[in-house]
Chain A
Amino acid sequence: MSRPKNQNYKAYGSSKGKEREQRTSVRFKTTFMNTLIDVLRHRPGWVEVKDEGEWDFYWCDIGWLRENFDHTYMDEHVRISHFRNHYELTRKNYMVKNLKRFRKQLEREAGKLEAAKCDFFPKTFELPSEYHLFVEEFRKNPGITWIMKPVARSQGKGIFLFRRLKDIMDWRKGTAGKKPTSLEAQQARGAVNPSGSHDSRSSDDQKEEIPVENYVAQRYIENPYLIGGRKFDLRVYVLVMSYIPLRAWLYRDGFARFSNTRFTLNSIDDQYVHLTNVAVQKTSPDYHPKKGCKWMLQRFRQYLASKHGPEAVETLFSNMDNIFIKSLQSVQKVIISDKHCFELYGYDILIDQDLKPWLLEVNASPSLTASSPEDYELKACLLEDTLHIVDMEARLTGKEKRVGGFDLMWNDGPVSREEGAPDLSETGNFATNTHLGCINDRKAQLRQLFRSLQSQKKASS
C-alpha cells in the first residue's frame, strides 16, 4: 500500500527476505486514458482505484512523480512506473553530460577503442552555458547543419535547423529576452531541480532568476538512410527493472516512423521534412491519417536484409544493442535505484547511409496512444508483457530470459542467447539475447512459460 509520508503509520504487510507474497488482487492507479487503461482493466485480479485510494501499482505521469514521490511511502511490494531522477537519461542536456563523463571513464579504464563505442550521439552542446565551445566547433566545421532542440519539450515542439550563426543570433535575441509563460517557467524550474550533480544554484536563487529555457545545439545528421526518398527514425522500447544491478529488457517489436515528405537539405525550414514525430507529421498538410506513416520493425528488418544482406543487418542491430546498454550504463551510478521503480523507455534511433545508428533521444513517457489498430496491438502487447515482468502476481522465478515479446538484454552483465553463462572474454563475441525486429510469437511463449511455472510451483509445494 502507499500512503502519504506525514501520517504516522507503521509499515505492515511487508514481507521479509526474498520471498514475494502472492497477491490475489492488485490495486492500480493511472491517469492515462489510452491503451494503458485498457490493458490494466483487463488484467485478471487488478482493480482500479481512483483519487485518494491506496494503490499497489501506479503508472504515473512525471509531473506527479516530481511533486509526490519524495513524500510517498511505499510498501515493499508496491511498484511505480518511473525512476525518481529519470531525467538524467531523458533530458537531452543531462544525458549528454552523463555520456561524456562515462566515455572519459571508459577511455581511462579500457582504452580508446572501447570509448569509441560511445560515439553514437551527435556532437551536442548545451546552450547557453556551452555557447563558446559550440561556436568553436561551429567554426571548425563550416557549412554543416545544426539542429536546435529545447531541453524539456517533446513531440517536436520548438525545434529548428540552422546553418549560420546569424540564425541563432536572431533567435537568442528573440527568446533570451522573453519571459517564458508561467507554465513553461514552472516546468523549467521543476525540471532544472538541482540533483546535486549539476547546477549549484540554491532554490532561493532560482526564485529570483527568470528561468531561461535551456536548449541543446546538436550536429544534424545530413545523410540519413532513406527509404522511398523519405527520412525515418526508429522507436524501440527498453524496459529497465533496476539500475543497481542493471537489469534491462528489450522488446522485439517497435516501428519506423516516416516523414511524409521527401528528404532534401534545401528546405531546412520545412519542419515536416526533418522531424518524424507523429505529432508533427499530423499537422502537415500532406498528412492523411489513413496513410499512417509507420512500418513495423519486422518489415524494416526484412527490407534491409533484402537490400544489404543478413550480416550487415546483424551488425546494425548489434550496434543498436550497444547504444541501449552504454546509455543505461552511463547513468547507472547517477539514477536513484529504488526497488519500487521500473521504467519503460522509448528510444529514438536514426540510421545514416552507412548503416550507423545514432541515438536521438530517450523518452521516459513514450506515447501509449494508438494511431491505428496495428499500433494498438503493438502497444497493448508491450504493456501486457511489461506488467508480466513487473510481476505483481509473483509468478516468475527471476531466472527467465524471455517473457512474451521482451528479451533480457542485460543482467548485471551481457546475456547470451545460448544456455549458460556467456563467455566474458574481452572479445565478447557471442550471440546476445536480443531479437529486435524478429518474429514475436509472444502468445505461444507466454503460454509455455506460465504453464511451466505453474507445474514448477505444483512440484515444489
Chain B
Amino acid sequence: MRKAQGSWEKRILKSLNSMCTELSIPLARKRPVGEQKELLSKWNEMGTDEPDLSLFRPVYAPKDFLEVLINLRNPNYENGDYLSFRTHLGLIQVPLKVKDIPELKELFVELGLTTGQLGIDDATQVPPELFENEHVRIGQKVLAEQDSAAAQQYVRQGSPTALRAELWALILNISSQPEDILYYEQLKTNVIQHDLLVDSLIYKDVKLTASNDDYYFVFEDYLYQVLLCFSRDTSVLGHFAYNSASPPKSYIRGKLGIEEYAVFYPPNGVIPFHGFSMYVAPLCFLYHEPSKLYQIFREMYVRFFFRLHSISSHPSGIVSLCLLFETLLQTHLPQLFYHLREIGAQPLRISFKWMVRAFSGYLATDQLLLLWDRILGYNSLELLAVLAAAVFAFRAVNLMEVTSLAAAEAVLADLSTLKVMPLLQIFLFATVT
C-alpha cells in the first residue's frame, strides 16, 4: 500500500512540476508590496477577482485517483484463475477486511429502527413531543456541561440545527482561544506576503465547483480565506504521522536533490484536487467567523477527509470504503450488480466521486449535515460506503432497466431529493439479508 501511495504521490508532484515549468510560474514567490496591499484590501471579497486561470488545470480529479486504486494489487495474494462465489466482481482487487451487514448493524446500533433519529423522527407528521423536544433538551444539557464524549455519543442520533455548530466544535475540541485567532491571522499574513502556485489551483477549483453550486456560491469568499490559509499551515504536516501519505517535497532553486534545501510544498503538504473546496463549503453554513471556520475545517481534514484521497489500508480509508461499497452491493443486490457490470457500468465508477467528496455537493445541505453528524459521532467514514450502497438499492428498479453507463449515470445524477437517514435505516435494518 505504501508503495502504491508513494508512486501516486510521485505522479502528482510530477504533474504539478510540469505545470509549473509549462506556465513558467514559480512554485512560490514573494509578493511585491503593492500587490500585498491590494490583496489585503480585497481579503473579504476575493471572489470578485477574476484572474486568468484558463491555463491551469486541476492537478488531478477523483476519476484519475480511481484508476490508480483499481490497479492496486497485492503481490502476495494469488487470486487464482477460476471464478467462484467468492470472486469479487468489483473494481477493487485488494483483499482488505471490510464489515458485513451484521457487523455494521452492531457498529451503528444507534441508527436502528427503535431509536429516535433526527432526519426521521423530526418529520412534520411526527409530533415533537415524541422525540424531538427531549432530544433538543438533552443536546442543550450536553453543551452546558461541555462534555465532548457525550456530544459525540449524542450526535449519533443527529444534531438539532440550532445546536450543531457548537456540538461539532465541542467534539472536535475547537474553542476560539486568542492564540488560535492569532495563528489564523499569522497564516493570513503568509498568504498576503507570498504567492504560491497552489493558490491558482485553489482559485480554479473554487470557481469550477463551489461557485457554480446553487447553494454554496454565496460562500465563495470564505472558501478562499480558508483554503489559502490552509495551504500554508505547516501544523497540518502533523497528520502525516498517521497518514500513509507523505508530503511532497520541493527544492530551493538550483539545489535539486540536496536534502538540506528540501522544503515541503505546499507548506501543508496537501495538494488540492478537483472538488477539494467542497469539503469546506457545507461548513460555511455553520460557522461565520473565519478563524473558527478555519479551525473546524482543519480539524475535520486531519481527522477524516485526508483518508478520502490517500491510499491506505485503514478501515475508513478510501480503498476500504470502495471495497465495502462493492461488497455490500454484490452481496445484497447481486442481480443489480451483475447487470450494471454487464452493461459496462461498474457501480464504483459512479459512486466513487460521492465518497471522495463525502457526498458534499450531491446531497441537499440539511441532509449532508445529518450525515456528517453521524460521521463525527461514530468517528468513521464507513457510513459513506453504506449510504452509497443504499442509494443504489433505492434506485434499483430504474437501474435494472438501463443499458449503458451514461444512462446509469443519469439515473443517479440527482441526489438532492434523497433523505439520508431513512435510506441508511432501511438498508441496514430493514432489508432482508
- Chain A residues positioned under 8 Å from B44 (CB to CB): 229, 262
Chain A stretch 52-100: residues in CB contact (< 8 A) with chain B: none
In the complex, B286 has a CB within 8 A of chain A: yes
- Alpha-carbon distance A353/B41, docked complex (angstroms): 23
Chain A stretch 260-283: residues in CB contact (< 8 A) with chain B: 261-262
Instruction: Out of A258, A288, A294, A310, name the residue touching B162 (CB < 8 Å).
Output: A310
In the complex, A168 has a CB within 8 A of chain B: no
- Alpha-carbon distance A302/B45, docked complex (angstroms): 24
On whether the beta carbons of B211 and A291 are closer than 8 Å, the reply is: yes
- Alpha-carbon distance A73/B164, docked complex (angstroms): 60
- Chain A residues positioned under 8 Å from B218 (CB to CB): 227-228, 230, 258, 295
- Alpha-carbon distance A305/B369, docked complex (angstroms): 14
Contact with B along A287-310 (1 / 0, CB 8 A): 010111111000100110111011
In the complex, A441 has a CB within 8 A of chain B: yes
Known: A262-B44, A291-B212. A302 touches B161 (CB 8 A): yes
In the complex, A439 has a CB within 8 A of chain B: yes
In the complex, A374 has a CB within 8 A of chain B: yes
Known: A262-B44, A262-B45, A302-B365. A307 touches B214 (CB 8 A): no
In the complex, A286 has a CB within 8 A of chain B: yes
Using CB atoms, name the residue of chain B closest to A444.
Answer: B125
Contact with B along A26-58 (1 / 0, CB 8 A): 000000000000000000000000000000000
| Residue picked from B47, B165, B284, most chain A C-beta under 10 Å | B47
- Alpha-carbon distance A290/B285, docked complex (angstroms): 21
- Alpha-carbon distance A229/B42, docked complex (angstroms): 12
Chain B stretch 202-228: residues in CB contact (< 8 A) with chain A: 211-212, 214-215, 217-222
- Secondary structure class of chain B's binding surface, majority of residues: helix
Using CB atoms, name the residue of chain B closest to A313.
Answer: B162
In the complex, B288 has a CB within 8 A of chain A: yes
Tell me, rounded to whole Å, the shortest Cβ–Cβ distance linking B372 to chain A. 13
Contact with B along A206-226 (1 / 0, CB 8 A): 000000000000000000000
On whether the beta carbons of A290 and B212 are closer than 8 Å, the reply is: yes
Using CB atoms, name the residue of chain A closest to B217.
Answer: A291
- Alpha-carbon distance A374/B414, docked complex (angstroms): 12
Using CB atoms, name the residue of chain A closest to B160.
Answer: A310
Contact with B along A301-325 (1 / 0, CB 8 A): 0110111011000000000000000
On whether the beta carbons of B161 and A305 are closer than 8 Å, the reply is: yes
| Residue picked from A228, A288, A305, most chain B C-beta under 10 Å | A228
- Chain A residues positioned under 8 Å from B211 (CB to CB): 288, 291
- Chain A residues positioned under 8 Å from B54 (CB to CB): none
Tell me, rounded to whole Å, the shortest Cβ–Cβ distance linking B137 to chain A. 14
- Alpha-carbon distance A280/B365, docked complex (angstroms): 28
On whether the beta carbons of B45 and A229 are closer than 8 Å, the reply is: yes
- Chain B residues positioned under 8 Å from A290 (CB to CB): 212
Using CB atoms, name the residue of chain B closest to A292.
Answer: B214
Using CB atoms, name the residue of chain A closest to B123.
Answer: A439
Chain A stretch 393-449: residues in CB contact (< 8 A) with chain B: 438-439, 441
Using CB atoms, name the residue of chain B closest to A262.
Answer: B45
Chain B stretch 20-49: residues in CB contact (< 8 A) with chain A: 44-45, 47-48
Instruction: Out of A229, A286, A303, A310, name the residue touching B285 (CB < 8 Å).
Output: A303
- Alpha-carbon distance A381/B217, docked complex (angstroms): 26
- Alpha-carbon distance A299/B212, docked complex (angstroms): 17
In the complex, B67 has a CB within 8 A of chain A: no
- Alpha-carbon distance A208/B368, docked complex (angstroms): 65
On whether the beta carbons of B124 and A441 are closer than 8 Å, the reply is: yes
In the complex, B366 has a CB within 8 A of chain A: yes
On whether the beta carbons of A305 and B162 are closer than 8 Å, the reply is: yes
Known: A262-B45, A291-B211, A439-B124. A306 touches B217 (CB 8 A): no
| Residue picked from B124, B218, B221, most chain A C-beta under 10 Å | B218
Contact with A along B252-287 (1 / 0, CB 8 A): 000000000000000000000000000000001110
Tell me, rounded to whole Å, the shortest Cβ–Cβ distance linking B139 to chain A. 12
Instruction: Out of A227, A286, A293, A306, name the residue touching B48 (CB < 8 Å).
Output: A286
Q: What are 9 inter-chain pairs, A to B, with CB distance below 8 A? A: A258-B218, A261-B45, A262-B221, A286-B48, A288-B211, A291-B212, A292-B217, A302-B365, A438-B124
Q: A residues engaging B (CB < 8 A)?
A: 227-230, 258, 261-262, 286, 288, 290-295, 299, 302-303, 305-307, 309-310, 372, 374, 438-439, 441
A228-B219, A306-B286 known; 5 new pairs, CB 8 Å cut-off, are A262-B44, A293-B217, A302-B365, A306-B161, A306-B162
Nearest 8 Cβ contacts at the A-B interface: A228-B218, A262-B45, A309-B162, A306-B161, A228-B219, A305-B161, A291-B217, A227-B218
